[in-house]
Amino acid sequence: MPESKSRRCFFVDSAKAAAAAALGLSLEERVLAQDAPVAGVAPPADPRPLLPTGRVGKLEITRLVLGGNLIGGYAHSRELVYVSTLLKRYFTDEKIFETLRLAERFGINTLNTNPQAARVVMDYRDKHGGKLQWIVQDYSAEYERYDSIRASADRGAHAIYIQGNVADRLVQKGKVSLIEKAIAEIKKQGLPAGVAGHSLAVPVECEKAGVGADFYVKTIHTLDYFSARRPEQGEDVVSNKDDNFWCVDPDAVAAAMAKIDKPWFAYKVMAAGAIPPRKAFRYAFDAGADFIVAGIFDFQMEADCEIAREAVAEAKRVRPWRA
């Protein structure tokens, strides 16, 4: 089979990056040295085969799920205050539709967003023939008002989970019972129900309490990136105002999730863009994740999907696939 353009480019870019590193260039200079100019990204003439999949309930989900933070302007860009505005200007409706089309054509079948993206997701589905499954995060557990859960179900969500910051706070305050109530409400809609968390206490305490989650969405990433947690940052993730780390102890996460026999969606695996996808995807799948949720630009789609295929095929896991 002819070698794909993205695969050839990866090896060329890797050689450029190695040469740049040898010259002692800065991180940004090394990135620029390996990055070719970006033109419009054309979808392949024929759709690529579906990425490897797992199941959550009756849903068949690709092991790489397209994250929605970027299209919503959520950059986690540390002190770079302009990036969220830049993203919102870049991701016009048409650019979002283009990105979602590329995701489908390169083998992704599921999108994860917050409820605020409902309009554009529904437009993509209803006006542009989009087929992506839609997993929605929900914020209502703290308030015990579940209109948003019912609204997401009515709009065609395929699964719903409690958003990570919300679950972090509830567990921190000892209010796991509110998570259980929200899970029950999601299940009333006939949908798989999950819980997200940055804190490892979220899945651990939810399992201990038997909240009935069908799946967990838990952060994991390596700790060896430039803007990683500093020694003086003693706070946990939910209290971290510098917004530069989302997992405190990845080894502890892998060990804890190995004891949980429910599907695990790993997120923030690239530490919000600080860790290259080839390294991040392999690390997460090797650590036991069943799925990865990743924000991907249109010009990254082909390469990231290829990386995900390889990472799944070559994963060296202790934790069995739970989905």
Per residue, what are the HEC states of the chain?
Answer: CCCCHHHHHHHHHHHHHHHHHHCCCCHHHHHHHHCCCCCCCCCCCCCCCCCCEEEECCEEEECEEEECHHHHCCCCCCCCCCHHHHHHHHCCHHHHHHHHHHHHHCCCCEEEECHHHHHHHHHHHHHHCCCCEEEEEECHHHCCCCHHHHHHHHCCCCEEEECHHHHHHHHHCCCHHHHHHHHHHHHHCCCCEEEEECCCHHHHHHHHHCCCCCEEEEECCCCCCCCCCCCCCCCCHHHCCCCCCCCCCHHHHHHHHCCCCCCEEEECCCCCCCCCHHHHHHHHHHHCCCEEEECCCHHHHHHHHHHHHHHHHCCCCCCCCCC
Same domain, 119 and 145: yes
Same domain, 107 and 194: yes
* Interval 180-196: pLDDT, tens: 999 999 999 999 999 99
Same domain, 83 and 139: yes
Same domain, 62 and 19: no
Q: How far apart are CA 9 and CA 2, in angstroms?
A: 13
* Interval 251-290: pLDDT, tens: 999 999 999 999 999 999 998 888 999 999 999 999 999 9
Residue 157 lies in a domain: yes
* Interval 93-152: pLDDT, tens: 999 999 999 999 999 999 999 999 999 999 999 999 999 999 999 999 999 999 999 999
Residue 162 lies in a domain: yes
Same domain, 146 and 279: yes
* Interval 248-260: pLDDT, tens: 899 999 999 999 9
Same domain, 106 and 31: no
Same domain, 13 and 98: no
Q: Report the domain count for the chain.
A: 2
Residue 43 lies in a domain: no
- Sign, CA dihedral 106-266-36-13, equals negative
Q: How far apart are CA 46 and CA 51, in angstroms?
A: 15
Closest C-alpha to 152, from 163, 138, 142: 138
Residue 147 lies in a domain: yes
We report the CATH number of the domain holding residue 300 as 3.20.20.100
Q: What is the mean pLDDT of residues 211-216?
A: 99
Which pLDDT score, from 0 to 100, does residue 2 have?
45
**Structural domain containing residue 159:** 52-313
* Interval 144-174: pLDDT, tens: 999 999 999 999 999 999 999 999 999 999 9
Which pLDDT score, from 0 to 100, does residue 1 have?
44
Same domain, 5 and 104: no
Same domain, 23 and 155: no
Same domain, 93 and 241: yes
The pair of structure tokens assigned to 27 is: 């991180």
The pair of structure tokens assigned to 297 is: 């630009």
Residue 46 lies in a domain: no
| Length of the chain measured in residues | 323
Same domain, 239 and 178: yes
Same domain, 8 and 134: no
Residue 44 lies in a domain: no
The mean pLDDT value of the chain amounts to 88
